[in-house]
Amino acid sequence: MQPHTGSTRWGILVALVALGGSALSWGLSGGAVFSPGGLSGARDSTSLGGIGSHAELDRRCGACHPGPFSGGTMSARCLACHTDIAGELPDSGTLHGSLEGARACLACHTEHRGRDGALTRFEGSGIAHDRFGFSLAAHQERTGGAPFLCTDCHGGRDFAFDAARCERCHRDEQPAFVRRHVEAWGHDCRGCHDGADRFGRNRFVHDSTGFPLTGEHRIVECAGCHTTTRSLAAFRDAPTACAACHQKDDRHRGGFGSDCASCHDTRSWEGARFDHTFPIDHGERGRVACRTCHVSREDWKQYTCYGCHEHTPARIAAEHREEGVGRDLTDCVRCHATGREEGEGGERED
């Protein structure tokens, strides 16, 4: 059966009229007649190419959408206008430069959501947040079970992070704790916290630092030792010498040096482990003051017998030469372990 020639001609004519009308509408409206929605009215702080917001391009679709045979891409047109973002791409230390596929602008940025529509979305984009220096491992759910949204921490047209948000959010949920925490450590939360919650209760193992907490050290608050710490680097640089914390409590006033651990342990300052192998009352004079023999305030292991005995170094040297002894004559206890002149007890073993 042959088609009716008149009907075919009328069909072609109607199609041509429709195409012509569409082309005319496109030309007169700049393509806006086919727009799926209005463009964002958010304004940039600076004018890019004379354009203050996308809304000013409502009737200029070609500003973002290249023609079908032009060989161009939308991303290329985005970067041609947003030159500040294009400048970030070669630098991996910047936000956009650290992202894989950062040139695919539409992966995170959308349009045609109306004048008040958001231009940035991260949900479902597969962003590895760790690469920005803050893990989301401990920020999956808010108190009550509601999931964290990007906008809980980021806001504004440029999706900037406001450091004060950490404190505001946690203060709402843990007011007493945050007040004490800020008093002890300051307001720079990210100076120590990277989102992995490594310092949470029962999470951080102090032994991993090379300075295990034993005895009374176990119950000391962190700020008790890290008194001026405000960053991770400062935590690592904390002094480990006893005197660094306990110098003000030193009853010896530095008379026995700074090696507190040679006599004391972390259980208590009382009951020091000290075994004076040399008999202090060997001369039957009773106990004598430590400084009588240990005259150095820097090294209590040094001693001298001249602080008590009347003999002189020259006389002692002459007597020992007669006995055929030529060893170090300043270390008397080496031979006179009991304090007796004849060397009873024999030579001390090192």
Scanning the chain, the segments in alpha helix (DSSP H) are: 5-29, 74-81, 83-88, 164-173, 175-185, 222-225, 232-236, 242-246, 290-293, 313-322
Answer yes or no: is pLDDT of 345 > 50. no
Q: Which residue has the higher pLDDT, 117 or 300?
A: 117
Closest by Cα among 292, 282, 300 to 336 = 282
**pLDDT value for 176:** 92
Q: Which residue has the higher pLDDT, 271 or 210?
A: 210
CA–CA gap between residue 326 and residue 339 (Å, rounded): 19
**pLDDT value for 347:** 45
Whole-model pTM: value is 0.44
Residues of the chain with pLDDT > 70, as a percent, come to 76
Instruction: Read off φ and ψ for residue 160, nearest 5 degrees.
Output: -70, 150
CA–CA gap between residue 321 and residue 317 (Å, rounded): 6
Instruction: Read off φ and ψ for residue 51, nearest 5 degrees.
Output: -110, 125
DSSP 132-171: GT---TT-SB-TTSPBP-GGGTEETTTTEE-THHHHHHHH
Over the stretch 8-30, which tens digit does the pLDDT of each residue have? Answer: 776 676 566 556 555 555 454 44
Answer yes or no: is pLDDT of 267 > 50. yes
DSSP 244-278: HHHGGG-TTTTTT-S-GGGT-BTTBSSS------S
Residues of the chain with pLDDT > 90, as a percent, come to 2
How many Cα neighbours within 13 Å face the side chain of 57? 20
Q: Which residue has the higher pLDDT, 56 or 161?
A: 56
CA–CA gap between residue 16 and residue 22 (Å, rounded): 10
Over the stretch 138-189, which tens digit does the pLDDT of each residue have? Answer: 888 887 788 887 778 887 656 677 888 888 888 888 899 899 888 888 888 8
CB distance 261 to 245 below 8 Å? no
